[in-house]
Amino acid sequence: MASILRVDTLTDASSNNSVATSFVAGGSAKAWINMNGTGTIATNDSLNISGTTDNGTGDYTITINSNMNNDDFSHIGVAHFDDATNGIYTFGLPDNVTFSDYRTTGLVRYEAAFVHATSNRTNFDSDECCVTIHGDLA
Amino acid sequence: MASQLKVDTITGVTTAGSVAVTGEGNSTTTNLQQGLLKHWCRYDGAEGTPTRDSFNQASFTDNGTGDYVMAFINNMANANHAPIIGSGDWRTHGMENTDQATTANTGDVLTRAPNNASASDCDEAGHAIAGDLA
């Protein structure tokens, strides 16, 4: 039978390693996703993600299932790219946009992009792109 | 009244690996196990003993300039975990996720210099994994 435990602090049985339950809730990731952004995009695994949308090359909307409390949450992206040329790869909010449109309580819209020594920022479809969100749930 | 629970292991009743925690806004719950980081490491890739501190890490291997592999103690359920990587190096290295090519028991990172994007050792960096444990 399901049960609810109301408690302020957790410790181990030896009274060591105590942690307030507020840290447990506040420190846990509220959403994460590992997705394939090439071809027909697909979610490999996720937590609290209801869907993804392919908006174009390297441009993805990731929708959160249970919304965040506000849009001030921490969001981190990582993208992989099989590329023979040395490059720096990013996965995050796009340049020159109104951030409030791309990071709301219910979604983030991220772009995967690379910079080469000889080329400017260019979007790419990533075969593995990941986002992790920490913050407060609604 | 403040309360304290003393326990070594928390296990779900309905599903052992699933415990719900009420969110900050009191209107929804989140899965405790799935939200916890399963690995983290702070390292200095320019030194012979790179790892400064870590969690659930069995070993750290330097495979060459800017190329690092961290092996987990308790493996992930699959390779579909979500890595988090970042550099605190003043040179602000770019960090490529090479994790995609690996399995459930390692996290791979390649750091690159910002000026020419060539592989480069990073003085201070962090790596973490969200996802499902085996």
pTM for the model stands at 0.90
Task: Determine the Cα–Cα distance for residues A65 and B1; give it in Å rounded to an integer.
Answer: 33
Indicate the residue of B3, B31, B34 with minimum beta-carbon distance to A8: B3
- Two structure tokens written together for B18: 């699933």
- Two structure tokens written together for B101: 């090519």
Task: Determine the Cα–Cα distance for residues B117 and B106; give it in Å rounded to an integer.
Answer: 24
Q: Do B78 and A25 touch (CB under 8 A)?
A: no
Distances (CA, A) of A44 to A51, A128, B72, B78: 12, 9, 20, 10
Q: Which residue of chain A is at minimal alpha-carbon distance from B129?
A: A132
Determine contact, residues A86/B116, Cβ cutoff 8 Å. yes
Using one digit for the tens of pLDDT, what is the confidence trace for B55-79?
999 999 988 888 888 999 999 999 8
Q: In degrees rounded to 5, what are phi and psi of residue B100?
A: -55, -35
B contact residues 61-90, partner A, Cβ 8 Å cutoff = 78, 80-86
User: B73 to chain A, minimum CA–CA distance in Å?
Assistant: 20
The predicted complex's ipTM stands at: 0.84
% of chain B surpassing 90 pLDDT: 32
Q: Which residue of chain A is at minimal alpha-carbon distance from B9?
A: A12
User: B10 to chain A, minimum CA–CA distance in Å?
Assistant: 10
